[in-house]
Structure 1
Amino acid sequence: MPVLLIADDHPLFREALRGVIGRVFPGAVIHEADQVSVLYDLVDSCPDADLLLLDLDMPGSSGLGPLKQLRGQHPQLPIVIVSAHEDPLLIRRALDHGAMGFIPKSSDAQMLRAALIHVMDGGAWVPGATPAAKASAAREPMMAASVRELTPQQFRVLQMVGAGLLNKQIAHELQVSEATIKAHMTAIMRKLRVSNRTQAVLIAERLGLGTWRCGIKV
């Protein structure tokens, strides 16, 4: 059963999210936090959670501060911002700091459902009609040029990371040491000019580079 975390200080919105999650993922385990201090303890106690839905306006928070801190302490945790703010610059900054997506609170239940399914499948979600999406598209040539700097082996590693494989699993698949994979990831992040694995995977997904399943590019 998937484990989802909700961080929002508004009880009615938490209830709405619970309802959507329950319909999309019956049997899902849901944990909630209504302030940042509770959120940090919650994430520490659920290190293997499948997704965190994070509001930016909670007691004890400061803008993107919680996102930055959680990305640093729990880089494996997928985080999606759910916010009443729809400023294009804020959306772009959230993605740049490692969020897998940004869902406006103005979204209806159908949009929330689509976003949750897409993110839980490993995709990145951005409001399609916002200038932030256009700004992202405008950066694609630069991102593509960075990807072209990758060696074939680094490209394969990036695809495997995008498919959700851990360093240990990638090392086994490619028959190299785990230290070699860590070195590849360091080189990949440097060439793509990102600070963590999630941001690297987002670039790969935006460019439609495909993923790796059982040794086959799809």
Structure 2
Amino acid sequence: MGKLQVLLADDHAIVRDGLKQILAETDDLSVVGEAANGIEVVHMVRSRAWDLLVLDISMPGRSGLDLIRLVKDEQPGLPILVLSMHQEEQYAVRALHAGAAGYVTKESDCELLLHAMRRVAHGGVYVSEKVAELMARALRPIGTVLPHTLLSDREYQVFGMLVQGHGLTEIATELSLSVKTISTHKTRILQKMEMGNLSELVRYAIAHHLVDPGDLY
């Protein structure tokens, strides 16, 4: 049996090179294609069949969650494993709901990553104990869920950028939206989370590990 054909999508060449080296030492996994942004991911997915897509959720060209949905629309049977610098609290549940079959952080060791890749490639699902707990919490009655889980994917994306210190104009440019649209998102975020200002959002994000302290500026 030949090696599983892996499409690796990450905007950092050093990460791709490291993963290629790791997989080169296995008997069953091989990186056959690479993509450095969302546009390249779509092109590569359409170009041929793959056994597994390993996807960084934060790449230029398209929102990671939107990209997962687009890939699943194009290739419903393609297993997706998200490999992200973001901790599970930040995006894991949303990525799984979007269609990913697993979520692993870049802090994970090689053996765990290979285990997750094999499991997902063979039709399984990989979630850590922490992610399983987060998913269980998301099933609680509406009155007991955390406020940030009520946000839409776009609102959550804007929320994440706001608490990291990005201004409305900067966010609008990054997401190719109008400043007015971003302002509307901000208003809805504050309303849904029942908070009065950005400072409260930042404190909430830090308290619930939804932002990496090193990302704040």
Q: Same fold (TM over 0.5)?
A: yes
Q: Residue 87 of structure 1: CA displacement?
A: 3.8
Q: Distance in 2 between the 1:54 and 1:28 partners?
A: 15
Matched, 1:100 2:101: yes
C-alpha contact 1:118 1:124 (8 A) present in aligned 2: yes
Q: Distance in 1 between the 2:87 and 2:29 partners?
A: 31
- Superposed CA offset, 1:56-113 (max 9, x none): 1112122411111111221111111110011425111111111010011111112112
Q: Distance in 1 between the 2:53 and 2:43 partners?
A: 13
Q: 1:27 to 1:62 in 2, by over 3 A?
A: closer
Q: Distance in 1 between the 2:18 and 2:59 partners?
A: 17
C-alpha contact 2:6 2:29 (8 A) present in aligned 1: no
- Superposed CA offset, 1:135-189 (max 9, x none): 33467899xxxxxxxxxxxxxxxxxxxxxxxxxxxxxxxxxxxxxxxxxxxxxxx
Write the mapping of 1:102-121 to structure 2, written as runs, cut at 5 A: 102-121=103-122
Q: 1:141 to 1:121 in 2, by over 3 A?
A: farther
Q: Runs of 5+ in structure 1 lacking a partner?
A: 143-218
C-alpha contact 1:24 1:117 (8 A) present in aligned 2: no
Q: Which amino acid aligns with 2:133?
A: K
Write the mapping of 1:1-218 to structure 2, written as runs, cut at 5 A: 1=2, 2-26=4-28, 28=30, 30-46=32-48, 48-128=49-129, 130=130, 132-137=131-136
Q: Residue 49 of structure 1: CA displacement?
A: 0.5
Q: 1:141 to 1:57 in 2, by over 3 A?
A: closer
Q: Residue 114 of structure 1: CA displacement?
A: 1.7
C-alpha contact 1:8 1:34 (8 A) present in aligned 2: yes
Q: 1:32 to 1:67 in 2, by over 3 A?
A: same
C-alpha contact 2:20 2:30 (8 A) present in aligned 1: no
Q: Distance in 2 between the 1:114 and 1:76 partners?
A: 20
Q: Which amino acid aligns with 1:58?
A: M
C-alpha contact 2:104 2:113 (8 A) present in aligned 1: yes
How high is the TM-score relative to the length of structure 2?
0.58
RMSD: 2.3
Q: 1:127 to 1:57 in 2, by over 3 A?
A: same
Q: Distance in 2 between the 1:36 and 1:138 partners?
A: 31
Q: 1:26 to 1:96 in 2, by over 3 A?
A: closer
Residue correspondences, number: 139
Q: Distance in 2 between the 1:27 and 1:68 partners?
A: 24
SS at the partner of 1:81?
strand
Q: Distance in 2 between the 1:49 and 1:32 partners?
A: 12
Q: Distance in 2 between the 1:27 and 1:9 partners?
A: 21
How high is the TM-score relative to the length of structure 1?
0.58
SS at the partner of 1:64?
helix
Match of 2:159 in 1: none
Q: Residue 38 of structure 1: CA displacement?
A: 1.3
Q: Distance in 2 between the 1:25 and 1:96 partners?
A: 31
